[in-house]
Amino acid sequence: MFEYDFMRNAFAAASMVALVAGGVGYFLVLRSQTFAGHALAHIGFTGATGAALLGLSPLWGLVLMTLAGGVGMGLIGERLAQRDVTIGLVLALALGFGLLFLHFYTSAATQANALLFGNVLAVDVTTVWTLVGLGTLCLAALAVISRPLLFASLQPELAEAKGVSLRLYSVLFLAIVALATAECAQIVGVLLVFTLMVGPAAAAQRLTTRVGRGILLSAMLALLAAWLGLILAFYTDWPCSFWIAALSATIYSLSSLSSFRLWRRWSVMSES
């Protein structure tokens, strides 16, 4: 399998993306903002197709559009959760514009499939290094703001009373989510961003309450899903995005089952 250049590139890109998705996704689930990844993916689709129509790299169009969307969501703040109808209309409009741009693009079918569902096996060396740079930036930024972000996520009223700006950290975090979403879209596409950013993180939070261990476990589970997805795709010739999505769902299901069994065991021990 590793005799092929495209498989080596795929593993390198998927590894970087999985580590970023695991770390960022943990805080995304903790802050109950899982909709943000899905929303930013739709917005990024418009940027990617617009960039392709102009003859530019779809990746950079995706990055710029998701970054603008993330900052905008952060500025709206808590009011964002109360505007589900508006959000739905904006997302639908963004997806519609993306399809319109593809209508004018000569290789629409191939481009649409790659953007919507990802194509990690087509990643070249240049894209790998771009993903490494973006991933390093995401992880470094997340490490810098992790402590105040955790404080603002768990105890927002107390954090604000202590002088922590909730809006500032919301903007910074969603900007990081935007970059992570743009990365994930290169692997699983804009419609399956949830697979790497939410599934492993939600599973990790069911298995441990320790934040440090949870972040590490989330990254490892995302990495496991990405690696196994690539291996299964290579030997079955089924889409890699399907395998990653299926593995992510399986990981979460197993974590739910494990959590239920641990709770039952604890309840029996408490009663006895």
For each of the domains in the chain, give its residue range(s) and CATH number, in order of start: 5-191 (1.10.3470.10)
Q: Please state whether 75 falls in left (phi above 0), alpha (psi between -120 and 50) or beta.
A: alpha
Question: One digit per residue, pLDDT tens: the chain, 272 residues?
Answer: 899 999 999 999 999 999 999 999 999 999 888 877 777 877 888 888 888 778 777 778 888 888 888 887 777 665 555 555 656 666 777 777 777 776 776 554 455 566 666 778 888 898 899 889 999 999 999 999 999 999 988 898 888 888 888 888 888 998 898 888 888 887 887 767 778 889 999 999 988 888 999 999 999 999 999 999 999 999 998 888 889 989 999 999 888 886 555 544 554 454 44
CA distances (Å), 270 to each of 109, 258, 259, 261, in order?
Answer: 59, 18, 16, 14
Single pTM value for the model? 0.83
Alpha-carbon span 16 to 19, nearest angstrom: 5
Q: What is the largest CA-CA distance in the chain?
A: 70
Residue 125 Cα to chain centre, angstroms: 22
Task: Assess contact for 159 and 152: CB atoms under 8 A.
Answer: yes
